[in-house]
A and B are shown apart, each in its own frame.
Chain A
């Protein structure tokens, strides 16, 4: 009996996946658990594995094609088996692996095949969308009962429209100034990760009542401590960065201010006892926040190693979903870009994020005397539904004290 190969929900938020590469070809023998294809999800490139043993047949999704979660992308059949349109005993795709610590209530569960086919669309529209890699769920249907028709896809310029019968010659668009050649602009379709960023962040700044608290931190002692630590680590490999120190200090401060280590869950607030710090990493074409779990319990060296490893894999898009979900609080650092100060957008359902600026030498007054010190501005974005002004300020003061006196972390 043939088994359908579905596009599986390989991440909690994944609604569609792009087939990057088929590792098995039509007619190849496959074993259960073997990787069939690499699939780009909304966050990373993941493996789609075989759920049955047999011969891969009827590969329906081309490389580069985007298909909805739950769509059949191929069939695994017994050698020589005649295949009907869809195998009756087809298993449901396995649910997305749930991240280790706690499920995210706010994240919609992965789509099932029934969900994926629930979009109202004409057979022709389905076919066009499939060929063009368009997610029908994102298309507004104008047919009866909101049915997506060919015309709706034409409106999105997916279908090359035949030339109108009476063609009126249009004057060529002319630019008033001489350009440096090339097109005046370029339309780039949204990648999976960019779509997710757009969707997720739009649920942040809009609905969440943000407020911001900024403070300037003296980084003189932290710098000295970092230099000393790196000297001691020497050629053991792995260096401690300011970011690692900030993550560690933030985690520590959160243990003292659990009111800020929380998720807003619509009808309740979940205060976390563990601290998992999301660390914003810029990747080609977007950003992702891998999570340092139980950062409050880890040594600086461990945090440094883990942060570097996660960031590297984030850039090569090889993160597993449980490595970028489940943060309780986040840190975003643009110091390396010479940014003095900025505000970061909260990653819901988290209730806060720290935005870190660059460390600059500037004249300040220390003990009544002018002195040149290394200073850094940090700005905390708070979800006012969870964190009140004074609560946030108290946390920020603790964080500032820990950074200004790193030994306090030992207390």
Chain B
């Protein structure tokens, strides 16, 4: 039967396409159903294009400081439209890369919106595809607005990241609601392109899921460069005009009116669980709206599995990718190593970058763990001084008794790259001693990791 496969995957984002490759590698005939471009949000309207734009922003900020380094670049002019066009090329390259991977691994790609049917079937248009082994649901998530306070996304004055990534020019002023990773990154981008940015966070501090010290460091850095940061703020009302939006924001016991050209909604995401036939197949959702899965990522309907954002937090591409690998190995009858959800790195690519793994210091306190925090600032790191990237620090939370790395937090120029030393350490259960014993090249930003490990042991050298 032409429409019969071992594994059918609904959704070609990071979880879905990685699952497709691994499934094919394991010798299972595989079909991937995608209604849009391959690569999903990550490749097309998420991780990848924002990294391209952030690099444009970084170049702009470098050039502005270039004189100090003995390089005269003249008056720095920015053009968001050009930066956007470049980011689109990068996304398209990546999407084509995923297409190539599907061909290379002989995965059948079906274009269209799939709807699940009982009996491990998926209907796409008039065609019905049948899975002999499993159906993987990897439909991902999307941005959401706040219609209850008058801020429905209208794609002109009230936008989401989906629209921000396609703007031809940077708006004169912008309020960003939500200071998680998305809000932080766009604040960084638009500020660098000359937009007057106001960053509004409902929780008491920006980057609320990160360690409090990381939040403080970023708040300080943003304020210093002229980004207005309002945390612990409640947006009471949004009045949307033709080319402006007025927000009533309550913070610190006072209400203020903020008038901006554009509002960027960056407060959370909604999972794509509607109109894909979940209920008809007996696939249940959790209280929070995610697809309910067991240890093997199987849903409440046997033969149907959930991976990626739809299967629950953290809603991160790399978590979904790992689930894609693990679930196909389970389906193929292998016994993959269990996913350590407590060891998924979290990275915000603003400048300076914020990267973390494991527990925050507050979480250590809440759990009444006996810990020591080791710290090392990049201001004391030779390499960082050389590049002028002295903002930030490495902080390692060490369990007092066994030396376990309970958590690690990095704020700094290369935080997103440096964190993996600690991710590998935690995955292999190295203690701070093993991290410190590994010889770190000099001079590198990574030396700060070894120094923070030493500091947690009470014998820091370089400070």
Contacts and interface: CB of A to CB of B under 8 A. Distances in A.
Interface core residue of B368, B404, B430, B433 (most chain A CB under 10 Å): B404
A142 B336 CA distance: 11
A162 B369 CA distance: 8
B403 A127 contact: yes
B429 A149 contact: yes
Interface residues of A, number: 14
B402 A124 contact: yes
Given A162-B368, A162-B369, A163-B367, A122 B402 contact: no
A275 B440 CA distance: 65
B429 A131 contact: no
Contacts of B242: none
B372 to A, nearest CB: 15
A17 B403 CA distance: 25
Interface core residue of A123, A131, A150, A162 (most chain B CB under 10 Å): A123
A134 to B, nearest CB: 13
Contacts of B433: 123
Given A162-B367, A163-B367, A125 B401 contact: no
Contacts of B367: 162-163
Contacts of A125: 429
Contacts of B434: 123
B337 A124 contact: no
Interface in A287-302: none
A143 interface: yes
B431 A124 contact: yes
Interface in B340-390: 367-369
Contacts of A149: 429
A124 B429 contact: yes
B296 to A, nearest CB: 15
Contact of A124 (B338, B369, B403): B403
A189 interface: no
Contacts of A122: 428-430
Nearest to B335: A142
B77 to A, nearest CB: 51
A122 B402 CA distance: 12
A171 interface: no
A128 B367 CA distance: 19
A124 B428 CA distance: 9
Interface in B25-80: none
Given A124-B429, A125-B429, A131 B402 contact: yes
A143 B337 contact: yes
Interface string A115-130: 0000000111101100
Nearest to B428: A122
Given A131-B401, A143-B337, A144-B337, A124 B430 contact: yes
Contacts of B428: 122-123
A128 B337 contact: no
A163 B369 CA distance: 10
A218 B434 CA distance: 72
A142 to B, nearest CB: 8
Contact of A127 (B337, B338, B369, B431): B431
B430 A128 contact: no
B404 A150 contact: yes
Interface string A161-172: 011000000000
Interface in B398-442: 401-404, 428-431, 433-434
Binding site secondary structure of chain B: loop
Contacts of A131: 401-402
Contacts of A150: 404, 429
A151 to B, nearest CB: 9
Contacts of A123: 428-431, 433-434
Interface in A130-160: 131, 142-144, 149-150
B439 to A, nearest CB: 14
Nearest to B369: A162
A127 B402 contact: yes
Nearest to A142: B338
A128 B369 CA distance: 15
A17 to B, nearest CB: 23
A163 B368 CA distance: 9
Contacts of B402: 124, 127-128, 131
A150 B428 CA distance: 10
Interface string A40-61: 0000000000000000000000
Contacts of A163: 367-368
Contacts of A127: 402-403, 431
Contacts of B431: 123-124, 127
A210 to B, nearest CB: 39
Interface core residue of A124, A125, A149 (most chain B CB under 10 Å): A124
Contacts of B429: 122-125, 149-150
B364 to A, nearest CB: 10
A221 B429 CA distance: 71
Contacts of B401: 131
Interface core residue of B401, B402, B431, B434 (most chain A CB under 10 Å): B402
A149 B403 CA distance: 14
Nearest to A130: B402
Interface in A363-399: none
A142 B368 CA distance: 28
Nearest to A159: B402
Contacts of B404: 124, 150
A152 to B, nearest CB: 11
Interface core residue of A122, A125, A163 (most chain B CB under 10 Å): A122
A304 B335 CA distance: 62
Nearest to B399: A124
Contacts of A144: 337
Interface core residue of A127, A142, A144, A163 (most chain B CB under 10 Å): A127
A157 B428 CA distance: 20
Interface in B424-463: 428-431, 433-434
Contacts of B337: 143-144
Contacts of A124: 402-404, 429-431
Contacts of B368: 162-163
Contacts of A162: 367-369
28 contacts: A122-B428, A122-B429, A122-B430, A123-B428, A123-B429, A123-B430, A123-B433, A123-B434, A124-B403, A124-B404, A124-B429, A124-B430, A124-B431, A125-B429, A127-B402, A127-B403, A127-B431, A128-B402, A131-B401, A131-B402, A142-B338, A143-B337, A149-B429, A150-B404, A150-B429, A162-B369, A163-B367, A163-B368
Interface of B: 337-338, 367-369, 401-404, 428-431, 433-434
Interface of A: 122-125, 127-128, 131, 142-144, 149-150, 162-163
Given A123-B434, A162-B369, A163-B368, 11 more contacts: A123-B428, A123-B429, A124-B403, A124-B404, A127-B402, A127-B431, A131-B401, A131-B402, A143-B337, A149-B429, A163-B367
List the 8 shortest-distance A-B pairs measured between CB atoms, nearest first: A122-B429, A124-B429, A162-B367, A127-B402, A124-B404, A123-B430, A123-B431, A123-B434
